[in-house]
Structure 1
Amino acid sequence: MSWPGAPVPRCFALIPGAGSGSRAGTAAPKQYQPLLGQPLVQYTLAAFAAVPRIACTLVVVAVGDTILQPSGNSILIAACGGPTRAASVFNGLNALCQHGAQADDWVLVHDAARCLVTPAQINTLIDACLPDPVGGLLALPLPDTLKSANPEGRVAATLDRVDKWLAQTPQMFRVGMLHAALASHANGDFAGITDEASAVEAAGHAPLLVRGSAQNFKVTYPEDFALAESVLKSRQGDVL
């Protein structure tokens, strides 16, 4: 598959959506939980669909998951989800390459459950990363006091938060760089790789931190669904 006339290097989106979402307390995977009458993941896909610079979005789902369907060349579905998020992303990168993505192309990896990301935030990340030699991620400076805990669940220390950031997604890197960074951890089941940036960091690079938004949170716990619906209602009629 190819995308005639697309600029080189191109930008692709990769959405890992193979998890069960056990912490969300829902019967079905949380990415399919309805929000205002639509599956949660549809809001995520709509945000990327509204960014013309995204050549294609590939969603990684669990083997046997047939809920989502491809949409022409703009949304591809790959049932190659792995046992961990990192494994799903690695498998998804392989699928993107099979569909024609090149090593110099960019890939924006985004959590399916961060359904409140906006096209403006995605474009901000693209603008910041395109001229960068490494790439980067949306993130927020830590706003709260940070504590470390002892084994008994009591405060062990108060940590300096001046240089601390909360990582978000999308995280944007060259396809080849990210694939190589993840491949070096594949034999160890991607132990210690918690996001794409951590893999790139382990390869000796320093990703760019691009300020995101507090509304770009990951729907994780049962109470998060009501908060996400509240944000979506507040945006109705907005041009994002």
Structure 2
Amino acid sequence: MRIAALIVAAGRGTRAASGQSSGGLGSSGLGAGPKQYAAIGGRTVLTRAIDAFARHPEITEIKVVIHADDGELYERATAGFGFGKLAPVAIGGPSRQASVLRGLEALADTAPDVVLIHDAARPFVSSKTISNVIAALRDRPAALAALPVTDTLKRTSGESVVTETVARAGLWRAQTPQGFQFGPIIAAHREAAKKNLDTFTDDAAIAEWAGLEVAVVEDSTGNIKITTAEDIELADRQMTSALEPRTGTGFDVHRFCEGDHVWLGGVKIPHTHKLEGHSDADVVLHALTDALLGAIGDGDIGQHFPPSDPKWKGAASRLFLEDAVRRVRETGGRIGNVDITVLAEAPRIGPHRPAMQNLIGEVLDLPPNRVGIKATTMECMGFVGRREGIAAMASAMVFVPADDAK
């Protein structure tokens, strides 16, 4: 089967609007905003939700529905995302139901056999739950992940006085993903929209209204929904405590040749010479790229971007750094901070430090105060002291899921 995941991320999440911190391990630097872009354990809620489906071997396409105002937030949340399943976004409507229909219409051209509709606010959905929902769809037109109700339920009057105890036998808490044969669910959504029926609370309810049999698949309790700022803070603490720190180091050196500028830290600096190299010879970004790769044990810059490959002739070293960041994120890791030392007699680094910090911070999704850049001369000793070239050393702190680290 061709199976698409439709992730609904167009909501405003006002109850969680204060759920972004400006400092600790969980901050991604995105600032306050809709809950799907809040950071938990260094990755946004939305990124984690996308990742769960991207890593699942049966999912062939992922369509995300976002709010019209969230394009920049979405681009930052998915920057460097290393999976080819992610399709262009769809823009949501005035309600969740309208947003889902727009997402389904955006999938209509490719017409998958099955679609799994999932709330972006559930970032911890397990691969097992996704597999079980898909399996149920081999025999039924619809299926949803759910949990049996275990608490005693009470119904109250308008004065918040208990009027009865509700029997919990056979009651389930509906969650997502909710899976459907594509043709029947888009037809049901279209018919509901045609009749201006917009009070359904989930897609399974629309399927029921349309007469589709809906199977229940028991979910895990870990598939929580992020709703409030407190939810974000709790999830962030839990994810951070489950991360193991790793460090990596990098070193690079390039000799001078004829020219009038050097590239350092992604910044073009006027100089009496330029640095010789197959790419732009940016020793700062080269050393930093190796530090990140070293932290996750993924080779070095020469392995991934060999100088023998003409494709990288004159390439901007930012591309190499972006690739290293992508590789870190694919491990489920996050970057805590980086520190760089430039070894050079000239040019002076100090005037250009803020620009370097800003550029590197943008690529690594770090605030400038987590990007250390220092410079030192070699007191006229060695090749650097003789002004024959420039060298750079870098270190990086990366946090990876403990299970990956074992």
Q: Is the pair's TM-score, using the shorter chain for normalization, greater than 0.5?
A: yes
SS in 2 for 1:167: strand
Distance apart, 1:110 and its partner CA = 0.4
User: 2:202 & 2:17 partners in 1: Cα distance?
Assistant: 23
Q: Does 1:238 align with 2:403?
A: yes
Q: 1:178 to 1:97 in 2, by over 3 A?
A: same
List gaps (5 residues or longer) in structure 2.
19-31, 244-400
Contact 2:65–2:92 (CA<8 Å) still a contact in 1?
A: yes
Paired residue type of 1:141: P
Q: Does 1:89 align with 2:65?
A: no
More strand by share: 2
Tell me the alpha carbon deviations over residues 58-113 of structure 1, each in whole angstroms, 9 at most, x when there is no partner.
00001242122476751123242011111100000000113x124xx100000001
Q: 1:132 to 1:87 in 2, by over 3 A?
A: same
Paired residue type of 1:12: A
Range with bigger deviation, 201-210 or 71-80: 71-80
**Structure 1 counterpart of 2:10:** 18
Tell me the alpha carbon deviations over residues 205-235 of structure 1, each in whole angstroms, 9 at most, x when there is no partner.
2200000011101100121113323443448
Q: Does 1:227 align with 2:234?
A: yes
Q: Does 1:185 align with 2:196?
A: no
Q: Does 1:58 align with 2:63?
A: yes
Distance apart, 1:49 and its partner CA = 0.9
List gaps (5 residues or longer) in structure 1.
1-8
Q: 2:214 aligns with which of 193, 196, 207?
A: 207
Q: How does 1:7-156 map to 2 (within 5 A)?
A: 9-26=1-18, 27-66=32-71, 67-69=73-75, 73-98=84-109, 100-102=110-112, 105-129=113-137, 131-156=138-163
Distance apart, 1:151 and its partner CA = 1.2
User: 2:166 & 2:11 partners in 1: Cα distance?
Assistant: 32
Contact 2:39–2:236 (CA<8 Å) still a contact in 1?
A: no
User: 2:218 & 2:209 partners in 1: Cα distance?
Assistant: 22
Contact 1:134–1:207 (CA<8 Å) still a contact in 2?
A: yes
Paired residues, number: 227
User: Could you say which structure has the greater relative contact order, defined with CA pairs below 8 angstroms and 6 or more residues apart?
Assistant: 1
Range with bigger deviation, 197-206 or 187-196: 187-196
Q: 1:173 aligns with which of 177, 180, 195?
A: 180
User: 2:238 & 2:203 partners in 1: Cα distance?
Assistant: 27
User: 1:97 & 1:79 partners in 2: Cα distance?
Assistant: 12
Q: TM-score, normalised by structure 2?
A: 0.53
User: 1:238 & 1:12 partners in 2: Cα distance?
Assistant: 28
Distance apart, 1:132 and its partner CA = 1.6
Paired residue type of 1:10: R
Q: TM-score, normalised by structure 1?
A: 0.88
Contact 1:137–1:168 (CA<8 Å) still a contact in 2?
A: yes
Contact 1:121–1:212 (CA<8 Å) still a contact in 2?
A: yes
Distance apart, 1:133 and its partner CA = 2.7
**Structure 2 counterpart of 1:3:** none
User: 1:149 & 1:171 partners in 2: Cα distance?
Assistant: 30
* Structure exhibiting the larger radius of gyration computed from Cα positions: 2
Q: 1:61 to 1:46 in 2, by over 3 A?
A: same
Tell me the alpha carbon deviations over residues 22-49 of structure 1, each in whole angstroms, 9 at most, x when there is no partner.
1223340100001112111111111111
Contact 1:61–1:77 (CA<8 Å) still a contact in 2?
A: no
Tell me the alpha carbon deviations over residues 131-182 of structure 1, each in whole angstroms, 9 at most, x when there is no partner.
2232201000001011112111221211000110000100000111111111
User: 1:60 & 1:42 partners in 2: Cα distance?
Assistant: 13
Contact 2:63–2:107 (CA<8 Å) still a contact in 1?
A: yes
Contact 2:17–2:34 (CA<8 Å) still a contact in 1?
A: no
